[in-house]
Each structure stands twice: as C-alpha cells, then as structure tokens.
Structure 1
Amino acid sequence: MLSHLEFSGFYFIKNLHFGELGFVQSAQGFIFLSGLLVGLIFMKRHERAGAAQVRRRLWGRALELYGWHIGILLAILALSRLMPDSWFVWNRWLGRLYDGGDVYVAAAAALLYQPSYMDILPQYMAYLLVSPLLIQLIATGRAAWVMAGSAACWLAVQLGAHMPLVALLDGLWMGGATLQPRAAFNPLAWQVIFVSGLVAGALAARGELQPRRLLDPQRPMLFHLAVGGLVFFLAWRMAITTGLIAPEVLERFQAYENRVEFGLVFLLNFVALGYAVAWLLVAGQRSASYGLRVGATLLNRLLSHPFLVLIGGYSLQVFAWHVVAVYLLRLVDWHVGPLAEPLNSLLAVAAIASLALPARWLASRAPTRLADAPQPSRS
C-alpha cells in the first residue's frame, strides 16, 4: 500500500518503506513466496492424488484470479465515469482504457494492457498455468532442467530476445497499427523468482532440500555475505537519491536496474535480502551473536503480528481493496490537496490500517458460513 500511494504533497512515512533502502520491493517477495507455497503444497498433492488433480486445482485458481482481476478492472472503469474529474486524475494510470475504444478493453481483458497497480495478478495467473508441468518435471527428477530453463528465459529478456514477440503482439491486436502492451512486469523475466521458490518448495516437500543445512547458525559466512550485499545496494540507493553519482556512472548502473525486466541489480539485491531474512528466521535465534538473536526474535514477532496474519489470510480480497483505495485516495488528494505534514502521513497510516477492513469482515462471516453449511446426518 505505502509504495502505491501518491499524494501531491510530501509525506515522511513513505521514506520508511524498505524499498527506499535498496532495490527490493513487495512484488519480489509476493512472487517468490507464492512460488514457494505452490511447490510445498502441490508437490505433496501430486504425490498423493496425481498430476491431474494438481492441474485442476491450479488452473481453477488461475481462473478465479482472472475473475477478480476483471472485477477490479470493471470497478475502476465504472468509477472513472461516475466520479467527477476521475479520468483526468487517473489518466496516467489507466492510459487508453477510457477513450481508446474496444481494442484497448479487449487487450486489457487479454491481460496485455494493464492499468497501474493491477499488473501483479496477470503474471501470477500465467505462472499458475505452467506450474503443473513444472511440478511434474521436478517429481521426475528434472529440477535442474527447470531451473536451467528459468534462468535461460530470464537471460533472454536481459539480452532483448523477447522484443520480436512484443512486435508480434502489437500487430496482432491492431491489424498492423500501434498498440504497445502495457505492464509493469515482464513475466518471462520475473518468473525466475517464482520458479526458484517453486523448485525450493517442491524439493523441500520431497525431502530433497534441507533448509537447515543452508541456514546453519554455526556457519554464518553466507549470511554475512548477504548482509554485505545489502549494504552495497543501500550505498548505491543513497548515492543515487542524494545525487552523488556521476551521470556517466549512473547511466552504466541503470542498464542493470531495469525493474520491468527484473534486471541484474533487482535479482542480486533480492537474493541477498531473501537469504538474510531466511537465515534470521531459521537460524537467527540459535546464533552465537546476541544482536542477531535479538534481531531474529523481533523479526519473528513482526511477521507473526495479528494484523499481518489477518490480512495474509485474505490476501486476494485485501489486494482488491487496496487497488480501489489507492485510486480513490489519489482522487481525494487531487480535490483537497496538497496537504501539509503530518496529515499526509496520517492519511497513509489510515490507508494501511484500512487493509484490515475486508479481512475482518470476511473473518466475521466465516463462522456464519460454517453454521449454514449442511451438517452430516446422525442417523
């Protein structure tokens, strides 16, 4: 939520987002953890019930996500026609969807033209569609081939091999005229973290990967190396933010900092942060260092906080709520802003707290749904 809120005035709390400390954002964590859970859960299901049930469940989930995506899209488009000045305010986020004709609506329905903040679900759907095949390959001992293929796709994007496909889609949708697919993520590049998580989860489910051997408190060398990487990228972020980098150096650095195509900077920074966090969660409380034990305890308490547990249990519904809230708050800011601090920061805190509203409502209805469910016969 915090990284998506846009206010016309300054608000300090945005500087507290971890994305300001490097080149890692919430999207990387969501995609990796999604892959990890798919691997853990559906490898076990594959071993119990077979490939057909895994395929049915994952494809069904992808279809459900598509329904939510279309619902969010239609809700925002409806609001853009009903709310005064909304199209002017949201024009940069919606692009040609409002006045571009049916072709842009069709492209949006086909997941090729994605409004701002609605582009995480489409790539997740694509990953779910191919996950049954990946799980089948891992189950038959081909995990190395899966990782090699994933790395090859990522590298192909870095080298521009995907550009002919983009050109093909342009001509396909407009009959030769120009329609540039719009998305904040290139799925062929970002898949590398989903597939990495899926492979790790699947191998762990099969007992072929022992996390504690990689996350050993008695061997903190890799952890220290990861922390060194985090400090390195923090220094680059601070230098760029404060304008200390010479233009020619910055130009060279930015060649590897392509977020859409998940460039090398984003990949290495995520690997460093992911390993450091995993080490703290698994091994930190058994570390010989008092400071690391304290840090690990605080991190575990943070991740098990009731607020995070609540919204995590209804992540899809919370995501839908957050998209609508971000759009509406931008409209409110345009009408009444710019607000002075601390009002903007307080509004941002209220927006974050509001994520609990759909989760609490759904949680309160869960006992009702269970009570209304048919009960087994006692006869």
Structure 2
Amino acid sequence: MFAFHVVHAHSTQIASASPVSTTSNFAPAPPPVSSRRWELDALRGLMLVLMTSTHLPTWFAIPAGQPFGFVSAAEGFVFLSAYMAGLVYTQRAVRDGIPAMRRAFLRRALVIYACQAACLLFLFTVIAALGMKFHQPAANNLMSFYLHAPLTGLWTGLLMIYNPPLLDILPVYIVFMLASPWILSHVLQGGWKTVMAASIALWGAAQFGLSRVLYDALVAATGLPVPFRETGSFETFAWQLLWVLGLCLGAYHARVPSERRIVFPSWLVKAAVGIAILFFVWRHMTGLEPFPQNDPLNLWFDKWHVGPLRLLDFLALVVVLLHYGGWLTRHLPRLRLLETLGAASLPVFCAHLVIVLVALAVVGESHPGRPPWFDPLMFALSIAAMYAVARLVRMFGSGPRSGQGRRAAPAARTGGSGTTLSVEAGQG
C-alpha cells in the first residue's frame, strides 16, 4: 500500500531531523518565511467549490460529484486541512515548544466548535422556521430527529452526539484537532511508525463496524436516546486515517529541506497514474456507484467508511499530485478566486452550509419544472456570496493580504516537487 511505502521510507528522517523537547529550548532552526502556500489555498478553494456544487439542490449536483474518480471533495478537504495542521503546528512546536503547540490546537478546536454550534443553532431556528413555512421536505428531513425531540436534539447536538446531515463533518474535524497535538508530540519525539500502524489498524476495524459496536455498548451503559443513524454519516475511525496521513505529510514537509523531499520510485508513480485513470474512467462511465445499486461490492468504494478501493484511489491521486505538483505549480494559471476561498476555508465552509440550508428550505430539491437558467444562477450566486465572505475575512481578519501572496509567488514556483515555505498565517 502507498501509505506503508511513504511511512517506511521517511519516518526515520522525521524522527531524527532535529530533537524536540517539551519546552521552548530548541536547537536553532532556520527562520521560516512568513507566507501562504498559495497552491494549497487554491486546492482547498477547489474542494469548497466542489462541495458546494454537490450539496446545492441543482440538476448538476450528481454529475459534478466525485469528478476525479471515486473520491469526493470531502476526502480532499480533510486531507488538506490535516496537511496544513501538520505544517503549521509542527513549526509552532519547533519554535515555541510542544505545550504552545497543544494550546494552539486547543484554541483552533474551540473556534471550530463555535462555528459548529452556530450552524447547529441556525439549523434548529431559522431553517426549521423556513422549512415549516415553505413546506420543504428536503429541509425537514435534515432535522427529523430534532423536530421529533427538540430538547434532546439540542443538547446532544451541542455535545456532538447528534449530528444532522451536512453538519456532521465539523464534529469529526474537531475530534481530529483535539487528538492531533498528542499525535504530533509522539511523532516529533518518536517517529511515525507506531502512529501509522495504529491508524491503519483503526481504519481496518472501522470496515467491520467498530463504531456500531462502541455505540451499542454506550447505549447499553447510558441509555443514550440518539439513534445510531443520527450520529453522523462519517465513520470517524475510518476517516482518521486520511487525517493522520495528511498530518504526517505536513509535519514531514515542515522539518525536511526540499532536497530531501519524498521521491517516489518510477514504478509507483506509473501504478498511481494507471489507477487514477482507471477509476476516473470507471466513475464517469457508471456514475457515483461503480456497481449497480445494492450490490455489496459497492462497500469496497464506500465513502462513509473509506472503503479499501476508495482509499486506493485516493492514495493514487495523492502520489500523482505529490510527484507532479511542482510542474503543475509552475505551469498552471493561478485562479485567485480559488486562492481567496481557500485562504478563509473555515468561514467559507460555514457560509456554504448556510447557503445550502437556506436553498433546501426555500426552493427545495431540484425538479424539472424549474427554468433551465435557475440552477446555474443559484450556483453562481452561491459562489459569489462565498467569495464575498472570504474577501471580508481577508479585509478584517488576521490573514495575509493579497500583496504578501504575490510577493511569495516567485519563491513558491521554485520548489521542484514542492516548496519549503512555512505557513505562519493560520489555516483559514
């Protein structure tokens, strides 16, 4: 598996790059270049656009879903967020010490939780009222458990036990952010082998229903009133593998010079390209499911459990992107819209949730009776609104101004297979 190859080849280098103590007394390190990684912002912006096209109730939601194969924007967004976390907070640990890194993770997790709580309350108040006013089943179905048991839905939602559809990714993100400082602390002092072995084992257990086993035990012990299907679609123990892989890669790039970056053997690159092409063609020939509906073989591509073949497709795309990333960075045009969206990814993600919820509550699911121009116009206005949010964040937030990004561009284009710029401006 690609993950084993990468970790086996480079975990020793990560552990030995420079010793890290639990205090702020570190060996001297080269001063970081304060800049955004514009190509990472562009990728995250692309993931946000793809998620919006999938979640908005338009006729092209299904054709636009999973455009690169049997991999969705959610996998890319989680992996990129983990990569940025590994990059940023490893530098924080090296510069200020592991306790400071842990405090930074906690602060970020609290910000994300505040966003989740705000979105949840928006769903339970504004969207609930709009759904009942316009009688849109699509909106009411999102919060059926809350409408059935409002008080239970409220407190279990705030505890991230009850997670309505569309609002079930940020709780997973929060859990990963809380676990990350302990993972990085171990990695910075002991290497990645143990962490990766445990992560892969958890992913394997998730394929056989680990979460359901733990849920049943919790219900038996506490009488938890939330049905299992209302706890969220994302299998946390499976998705943590994507997070740990991204965290591993980000931490590695934060501490290893560009000349020692990962270089894949040619056979692995060729295999990854072949797998990526195979799944890309397969997806666009058969649709979102590789086999007919209800065929048990679809479990191998299952999104919520990150099925084995879905994971294979994702890892192939990662290898291709890492190998050809330098060439793409130098030759592809920069899309400022995507960069702006990605630089403020958390506010823009929350804005996309608000837009999608309002659309479901007011106009409902897409249907043939709509004018042909309505859905494209709704999508364009949604992206424009998300861009306006990103611009406001750039104007009034603490992130870098556009001039900084332009000054950093020449350095970012000289990195071969990757760049060595650090990211001191936060994660958007």
TM-score by length of 1: 0.82
The letter of the residue matching 1:297 is H
Superposed CA deviations along residues 30-52 of structure 1, whole A, max 9, x for unmatched, are 11111111212212221222221
Equivalent in the alignment of 2:186 = 137
The letter of the residue matching 2:209 is G
Match of 1:184 among 233, 248, 251: 233
**Kept in 2: contact 1:212–1:282 (CA 8 A):** no
Match of 2:106 among 59, 84, 88: 59
Distance verdict in 2 for CA 1:209–1:192, change over 3 Å: farther
Equivalent in the alignment of 1:257 = 301
Q: Indicate whether 1:234 and 2:234 are aligned.
A: no
Question: What does 1:325-340 align with in structure 2 at a 5 Å threshold?
Answer: 325-334=355-364, 338-340=369-371
The letter of the residue matching 1:321 is A
Distance verdict in 2 for CA 1:203–1:243, change over 3 Å: closer
Equivalent in the alignment of 1:267 = 311
**Kept in 2: contact 1:256–1:263 (CA 8 A):** yes
Superposed CA deviations along residues 282-334 of structure 1, whole A, max 9, x for unmatched, are 2457xxxxxxxxxx722xx2xx3111111122211111111110011223323
Equivalent in the alignment of 1:47 = 94
SS state at 2:364 partner: helix
Q: CA offset at residue 118 of structure 1?
A: 1.3
Q: CA offset at residue 246 of structure 1?
A: 6.5
SS state at 1:255 partner: helix
Unaligned runs of 5+ in 1: 286-295, 371-379
Q: Which has the higher contact order (CA 8 A, sep 6+)?
A: 2
Q: Indicate whether 1:342 and 2:353 are aligned.
A: no
The letter of the residue matching 2:227 is L
Match of 2:151 among 102, 122, 134: 102
- Between stretches 251-260 and 176-185, larger displacement belongs to 176-185
Distance verdict in 2 for CA 1:213–1:57, change over 3 Å: closer
Q: CA offset at residue 156 of structure 1?
A: 0.8
In 1, the alpha carbon distance for the partners of 2:220 and 2:252 equals 42
Q: CA offset at residue 142 of structure 1?
A: 2.7
Superposed CA deviations along residues 102-138 of structure 1, whole A, max 9, x for unmatched, are 2222221111211221122111111111111111111
In 2, the alpha carbon distance for the partners of 1:244 and 1:110 equals 36
In 2, the alpha carbon distance for the partners of 1:238 and 1:3 equals 16
TM-score by length of 2: 0.73
Q: CA offset at residue 277 of structure 1?
A: 2.1
Equivalent in the alignment of 1:289 = none
Number of matched residues?
344
SS state at 2:54 partner: coil
**Kept in 2: contact 1:94–1:115 (CA 8 A):** yes
Distance verdict in 2 for CA 1:366–1:157, change over 3 Å: closer
Q: CA offset at residue 243 of structure 1?
A: 9.4
- Between stretches 146-155 and 103-112, larger displacement belongs to 103-112
In 1, the alpha carbon distance for the partners of 2:290 and 2:256 equals 48
In 1, the alpha carbon distance for the partners of 2:215 and 2:259 equals 40
Distance verdict in 2 for CA 1:351–1:177, change over 3 Å: closer
Distance verdict in 2 for CA 1:324–1:148, change over 3 Å: same
Equivalent in the alignment of 1:297 = 331
Question: What does 1:1-379 align with in structure 2 at a 5 Å threshold?
Answer: 1-7=52-58, 10-11=59-60, 15=63, 17=64, 19-83=66-130, 84-85=133-134, 88-171=137-220, 175=223, 179-180=227-228, 181-207=230-256, 212-214=261-263, 220-241=266-287, 251-283=295-327, 297-298=331-332, 301=333, 304-334=334-364, 338-366=369-397
What is the CA RMSD across the aligned residues, in angstroms?
2.8
In 2, the alpha carbon distance for the partners of 1:254 and 1:332 equals 34
**Kept in 2: contact 1:158–1:263 (CA 8 A):** yes
In 2, the alpha carbon distance for the partners of 1:244 and 1:203 equals 35
Superposed CA deviations along residues 72-120 of structure 1, whole A, max 9, x for unmatched, are 1111211134321356441222231123132222221111211221122
Q: Provide the identity percentage.
A: 26
In 2, the alpha carbon distance for the partners of 1:269 and 1:186 equals 18
In 2, the alpha carbon distance for the partners of 1:243 and 1:14 equals 11
SS state at 1:198 partner: helix
Unaligned runs of 5+ in 2: 1-51, 402-428
Larger radius of gyration: 1
**Kept in 1: contact 2:234–2:304 (CA 8 A):** yes
SS state at 2:78 partner: helix
- Between stretches 338-347 and 253-262, larger displacement belongs to 338-347
Distance verdict in 2 for CA 1:138–1:93, change over 3 Å: same
Q: CA offset at residue 238 of structure 1?
A: 3.5
**Kept in 1: contact 2:283–2:289 (CA 8 A):** no
In 1, the alpha carbon distance for the partners of 2:288 and 2:94 equals 53
The letter of the residue matching 2:352 is H
- Between stretches 85-94 and 334-343, larger displacement belongs to 334-343
In 2, the alpha carbon distance for the partners of 1:243 and 1:156 equals 23
Q: CA offset at residue 177 of structure 1?
A: 5.5
In 2, the alpha carbon distance for the partners of 1:351 and 1:112 equals 30
In 2, the alpha carbon distance for the partners of 1:254 and 1:126 equals 28
In 1, the alpha carbon distance for the partners of 2:206 and 2:144 equals 25
In 1, the alpha carbon distance for the partners of 2:290 and 2:389 equals 44
